[in-house]
Amino acid sequence: MFKRFYLLFGIIILLFLALIGRLAYMQLYQKSFYSSKLGGSSTYSVSTGSERGEIYDADGVALVENNITEAVAFTRSNTITSQEIKELAQKLSQMITLSDTDVTTREKKDYYLADTDTYREVVEKLPNKKKYDNYGNSLSESTIYSNAVEAVTDDQINFSDDELKIVHIFSQMNATSVFNTTTLDSEDLTDDQIALVTANQSKLSGISVTKAWNRSVNDTGLSSIIGTVSSSDAGLPEEDASTYLAKGYSLNDRVGTSYLEKSYEDVLQGTRTKQEITVDADGNVTENKTTSVGEKGKNIKLTIDLDFQNQVESILQSYYSAQISSGIAAYSEGIYAVALDPSTGSVLAMAGLSHETGSSETESNALGTITQVFTPGSVVKGATLASGWENKVLSGNEVLYDQTLLGISSWFTSGKTAITATQALEYSSNTYMVQVALKMTGQEYTTADAVTTDNYKQAMEELRSTYAEFGMGTSTGLDITESDGYLPSDYNFSNMISESFGQYDNYTTMQLAQYAATVANDGKRQSVHLVEGVYDNNDDGGLGDLSQKIESQTLNTVNISSDEMDLIQTGFYNVVNSSSGYATGTAMRGTYTTISGKTGTAETFATDSDGNTVATVNLNVVAYDANRSIAVAVMYPHANNDDSKAHQYIARDIIDLYVSTYANSSADTDDSDTDN
């Protein structure tokens, strides 16, 4: 028994001697090392953002500007306490006009506990289990603080609106990291307020008057595509924060969160002023060195001339208002038009009007051209022919019979009528396209044949693949976020047949415009872009010299021969310019140029104010001019009269306007040109 006791005692003595030896070693032999650590310094790297670049139209007209204002800024030192920040916020509330009362419950509790005495009182009242562990050891300070936050009652933070305003700027300052700067929210400063803050700066630790900028989006038809910029409170979006931080951003940096502002964030965001601040062991700043000076962000200029954009929207408004007045657009949610340069992919205009059932009013909605999807109807038939040629089931300008089959007929069907591929476009034959689709499943059709559903999925994939080569049901390459259309994955044989004449998948107006541009560009599909170039700033901070030209990319070339593309172009020409009574697009004949195009009518349904289902039609059109300088798509969903020619008139007027006023070369008005 005693032997065990002596053994244990001896082990304890040895451990105690080892500890004394280690302490002696650290104090005697490593004294200089630990002394240098104790008296050492710390260096902070600080990055401050600059003013954001601006956005201009093709003529240099400002679409987005920065409103520069005087504002109060707070730079957090490494020694300031939460109580001192609270006192600072209270002082500021007497000098400037605060406005924001939007605070969280947690922010109110943090403000309440920032007072040292208050915090001590709250902690003292906590039960022991909220302060100590099972062994009587004190819990970590962060755990105790969390428990104190939980203990604060609603009555204790029942602040008035004036107090909430102070809580808001306290929260802004308290969330600022060491040596970083935050612009505080307030109403615009008056000259007297600026003078008062400046005169009392010695009593306001970290407070200064600085220049701040706020994004100002001018009210135009393009406002919806500009996008938004985060506030300094919101800072980096959570889903993108890690990416931005890796690029050197700070958490409270303002960044583009949608559309153009987000897509061109890297160029619009200004470069940062970078500092290295060194402090000693007592927290005193010993060196503050600026390593680089920030500059305002670069500017971007669009491909869209605002004047042309406004006139396109006026054309839409003129015809659509008449359609609303006549009741034809009673169930229509809007109307949309896109104009592109076929050879460069530049967006010349993207205009839209949104409309609520029962209202006579409309609202500008350019964004709808890339977010709203609709059934296209017969405009797709040129691509259906291309799919037939690609998949070797159609030969040149092959003759097939327009006839009723599978319960489907064309608007002009009368028995069996022999028509060519170009006539199938000119007359808009549904059943010619159905026969192409059937051929793609491996079967020829005659009135005596029974139709099988074999291979319909392969045929659908082949149709969709070819449509995508023209830009339908796929990304157009647009430089802002867009819809790829709606292509259901769960479909049947009947859906595949309907697809062949545009009665199944849904596309955006932008996708149809790229389709028209691809036909006009001899099958070469160019990526679509809104931005013409990135520009430096001039001496006044406005649009300077070109820094980077935004070039279009060739996405693909439609996999058919030039002769086969000629047949599509001839069919499009005849749709508008043929003397045949069956030509479906003669209302598009232009005054200043020869127009080629394809109309489309898709059978759809809408719901009236009583919840009843009403038969409607989507009226769509794709078109381009003789010189291939402009390609246009118009989508007019849910009209209740398929005799309306409004969509054709709109396409005609847009092309005429561009050719007569904006095109670089004179229009070719020779009606003998077959556009081959």
Q: What is the predicted pLDDT for the residue at 293? A: 72
User: What tokens does 290 get?
Assistant: 């600026």
Choosing from 131, 155, 177, the residue where a domain stops is 177
Q: Within a domain: residue 57?
A: no
> What kind and span of H or E run contains 598?
strand 595-607
Cβ(214)–Cβ(66) below 8 Å: yes
**Roughly what angle, to the nearest 10 degrees, separates helices 105-113 and 141-151?**
110
Residue 671, pLDDT > 60, answer no
Distance of alpha carbon 266 from alpha carbon 150, whole angstroms: 42
Burial of 464 from C-beta contacts in 10 A (0-12 / 13-18 / 19+): buried
pLDDT band at 673 (very low <50, low <70, confident <90, very high): very low
Q: Which of 18-27, 423-432, 500-509 has the lowest mean pLDDT?
A: 18-27
Residue 666, pLDDT > 50, answer no
483: left (phi over 0), alpha (psi -120 to 50) or beta: beta
pLDDT band at 414 (very low <50, low <70, confident <90, very high): confident
pLDDT band at 608 (very low <50, low <70, confident <90, very high): confident
Q: What is the predicted pLDDT for the residue at 6? A: 63
What is the average pLDDT across 63-72? 88
Higher pLDDT among residues 586 and 43, named by residue: 586
Residue 109: C-alpha distances to residues 112, 156, 176, 395 (Å): 5, 9, 18, 78
User: What tokens does 509 get?
Assistant: 């107006």
Q: What is the predicted pLDDT for the residue at 411? A: 81
Q: Within a domain: residue 118?
A: yes
Distance of alpha carbon 119 from alpha carbon 124, whole angstroms: 9
User: What tokens does 163 get?
Assistant: 């107090």
User: What tokens does 271 get?
Assistant: 């470069």
Q: What is the predicted pLDDT for the residue at 672? A: 36
User: What tokens does 400 get?
Assistant: 């097939």
Q: Is 170 found in the same domain as 313?
A: no
What is the percentage of the chain residues whose pLDDT exceeds 70?
89
User: What tokens does 171 get?
Assistant: 């929260």
Residue 437, pLDDT > 80, answer yes
- Residue among 527, 464, 49, 492 nearest 247 (CA): 49
Helix ranges (H only) for 94-227 are 105-113, 116-124, 141-151, 161-174, 191-199, 223-226
Q: How many CB atoms lie within 10 A of CB 75?
A: 19
What is the average pLDDT across 57-77? 89
Q: What is the predicted pLDDT for the residue at 8? A: 66
Give Rg (Cα) of the chain.
Answer: 35
Query: Which residues share a beta bridge with 290?
Result: 275
Residue 485, pLDDT > 80, answer yes
Residue 572: C-alpha distances to residues 153, 383, 398, 597 (Å): 74, 12, 17, 5
Q: Within a domain: residue 403?
A: yes
Q: Within a domain: residue 134?
A: yes
Choosing from 160, 177, 194, the residue where a domain stops is 177
What is the average pLDDT across 27-52? 61
Distance of alpha carbon 554 from alpha carbon 469, whole angstroms: 11
Return mean pLDDT, the chain: 88
Distance of alpha carbon 667 from alpha carbon 656, whole angstroms: 9
Q: What is the predicted pLDDT for the residue at 253? A: 82
CATH number at residue 132: 1.10.10.1230
Q: What is the predicted pLDDT for the residue at 610? A: 79
Q: Within a domain: residue 358?
A: yes
Helix ranges (H only) for 327-420 are 368-371, 381-390
Distance of alpha carbon 431 from alpha carbon 461, whole angstroms: 20
Cβ(49)–Cβ(292) below 8 Å: no
Model confidence, pTM:
0.84
Q: Which domain holds residue 138?
A: 79-177
Residue 37, pLDDT > 70, answer no
Distance of alpha carbon 349 from alpha carbon 530, whole angstroms: 9
Q: Within a domain: residue 4?
A: no
Q: What is the predicted pLDDT for the residue at 382? A: 98
Tens-digit pLDDT profile for residues 513-523:
999 999 999 99
pLDDT band at 667 (very low <50, low <70, confident <90, very high): very low
- The tally of domains found in the chain comes to 2
CATH number at residue 421: 3.40.710.10
- Residue among 556, 560, 535 nearest 545 (CA): 535
Q: Length of the chain in residues, anyone?
A: 676
Tens-digit pLDDT profile for residues 256-280:
999 999 999 999 998 776 667 676 6
pLDDT band at 285 (very low <50, low <70, confident <90, very high): low
Distance of alpha carbon 568 from alpha carbon 523, whole angstroms: 10
Q: Within a domain: residue 262?
A: no
Residue 334, pLDDT > 80, answer yes
> What kind and span of H or E run contains 620?
strand 613-625
pLDDT band at 23 (very low <50, low <70, confident <90, very high): low
Tens-digit pLDDT profile for residues 207-220:
888 878 888 999 99
Residue 22, pLDDT > 80, answer no
Question: Active-site residue 138, yes or no?
Answer: no
Cβ(628)–Cβ(520) below 8 Å: yes
What is the average pLDDT across 467-489? 97
Distance of alpha carbon 492 from alpha carbon 495, whole angstroms: 5
User: What tokens does 229 get?
Assistant: 């910029």
Choosing from 177, 200, 224, the residue where a domain stops is 177
pLDDT band at 284 (very low <50, low <70, confident <90, very high): low
Higher pLDDT among residues 260 and 539, named by residue: 260
Instruction: Name the catalytic one among 232, 378, 596, 629.
Output: 378
Q: What is the predicted pLDDT for the residue at 118? A: 93
Distance of alpha carbon 634 from alpha carbon 377, whole angstroms: 12
Q: Within a domain: residue 96?
A: yes
> What kind and span of H or E run contains 209?
strand 207-217
Count CA atoms within 13 Å of residue 603 on its CB side.
8
Distance of alpha carbon 218 from alpha carbon 300, whole angstroms: 15
As a 3-state breakdown, the chain gives helix, strand, coil percent values, each rounded to 5, of 40, 20, 40
- The DSSP code sequence of 441-464 is TT----TTPPP--TTHHHHHHHHH
Question: What's the count of helices (H) and strands (E) in the chain, helices before strands?
Answer: 22, 20
Give residue for tokens 């135009």: 220
